Amino acid sequence: MKTVRWGIIGCGNVTEIKSGPGFQKANGSELVAVMRRDAALAQDYARRHAVPRWYSDAQALIDDPEVNAVYIATPPDSHHAYTLAAARAGKPVYVEKPMALNTVQCQEMIDACQAAGVPLFVAYYRRALPRFLKARELVQSGAIGEPRFVEVMLTQPLQISPGEQLPWRVRPEIAGGGIFVDLASHILDYLDYVLGPVQRAHGFARNQAGAYPAEDIVSAAFEFESGVQAVGTWCFSSFESTDRITFVGSQGKVRLSAFDATPVLYETGGKREVFDISTPFHIQQPLIQQVVDELLGRGACVSTGSSAIRTTRVMEGLLADYYQNSKN
């Protein structure tokens, strides 16, 4: 493979700026086809982004001989089926997060790609963003001493009005949960990247506002294999917005935001430093470049199916009681 020629399945909002142009701008990469079930929207996307071909059928895109890698940008309920189809065609897969609805599907996706001899990547792109890499460097270099614990706080006001048609992100049968699954997956994956795998996790999930069937608050305590501990609260019916991740060590702390573009704050003793690091306009492009480099044999990608399944496993454990009780 001399050039990675991508086909996108599901050219919705996430592909307009965050990801789609990244496949065109990455070195050694081209975007040659897009698919959306609505043919008019697929054609419109192709026209606006100068993509040569468009489809309204996913299998037709997968079977296109000019497509040699597939990006799956649909809601989570179809990640599993499309990944297996791409694997059967012998084509590498880059799939949106969360990886799938549950760990069983994730493992089947991993197994299918391994059997087909193709790699599987997952769009946890914070693993490649400069601001997040700086915070990771500070934690792992010993700048805060021995890491002791992490505090996570993500809150948002309720954004759904009574009677409003529910977006897929709060419909568990499509998203695998609620906004927690959509947003906290990024945070939990990043913590995995900084501190290693979670060894055990306990949590409480509830629906406090009653605006939709999915959970709207999750509180969790977990411990990493390294012995570092963490607590987190994610609430999506709060009166205010808060976005904070704090790594605390024996000699200092590092604070950053998961979604706001606030600077990284480093404190130790009487020293305080602020690192104001910009975010790429096409936010997935750094990770896409890693994917392309691995496919072309000139590098490696840090976000794979094998790493992403760990995040799904943690979320699944935290939400297990909520969804088990909702069935009773």
Is the N-terminal amide bond of 98 cis, ω within 30° of 0?
yes
Per-position DSSP letters for 226-273, written without gaps between them? TS-EEEEEEESS-SS-EEEEEEEESS-EEEE-SSS-PPEEEEETTEEE
For residue 183, give Cα distances in angstroms to 25, 26, 118, 155, 194: 26, 26, 28, 11, 18
Higher-confidence residue of 160 and 272: namely 272
SS3 content of the chain, % helix, strand, coil (to 5): 40, 25, 35
Mean pLDDT across 268-295: 96
pLDDT at 164: 78
pLDDT at 270: 83
In this structure, of 7-16, 159-168, 191-200, the range with the lowest mean pLDDT score is: 159-168
The angle that helices 103-116 and 305-327 make with each other, rounded to 10 degrees, is: 150
**Is residue 327 pLDDT above 90, yes or no?**
no
Q: Which residues sit opposite 4 in a β-bridge?
A: 29
Domain with CATH 3.30.360.10 in the chain: 130-278
Q: What is the average pLDDT value for the chain, to the nearest integer?
A: 96
Q: Which residues sit opposite 274 in a β-bridge?
A: 265
The structure's pTM equals 0.96
Mean pLDDT across 196-218: 96
pLDDT at 286: 98
Among residues of the chain, what percentage have pLDDT more than 70? 98
CB of 265 within 8 A of CB of 155?
A: no
pLDDT at 328: 56
Domain with CATH 3.40.50.720 in the chain: 4-125+283-302
CATH topology of domain 4-125+283-302: Rossmann fold (3.40.50)
Cα–Cα distance measured from residue 167 to residue 82, given in angstroms and rounded to the nearest whole number? 21
pLDDT at 160: 86
pLDDT band at 161 (very low <50, low <70, confident <90, very high): confident
**Is residue 162 pLDDT above 70, yes or no?**
no
CB of 17 within 8 A of CB of 282?
A: yes
**Is residue 64 pLDDT above 70, yes or no?**
yes
H/E segment holding residue 69: strand 69-72
Mean pLDDT across 248-258: 98
Mean pLDDT across 53-76: 98
Other CB atoms within 10 A of residue 159 CB: 12
**Please, which residues have CB within 8 angstroms of residue 165's CB and are 6 or more apart in sequence?**
none
Instruction: Record the tokens describing residue 292, joined without a space.
Output: 């392309």
Mean pLDDT across 243-255: 98
Mean pLDDT across 221-240: 97
Kindly report, residue by residue over 96-143, the tens digit of the pLDDT: 999 999 999 999 999 999 999 999 999 999 999 999 999 999 999 999
Mean pLDDT across 196-213: 96
Cα–Cα distance measured from residue 57 to residue 37, given in angstroms and rounded to the nearest whole number? 6
CATH topology of domain 130-278: Dihydrodipicolinate Reductase; domain 2 (3.30.360)
Cα–Cα distance measured from residue 37 to residue 188, given in angstroms and rounded to the nearest whole number? 32
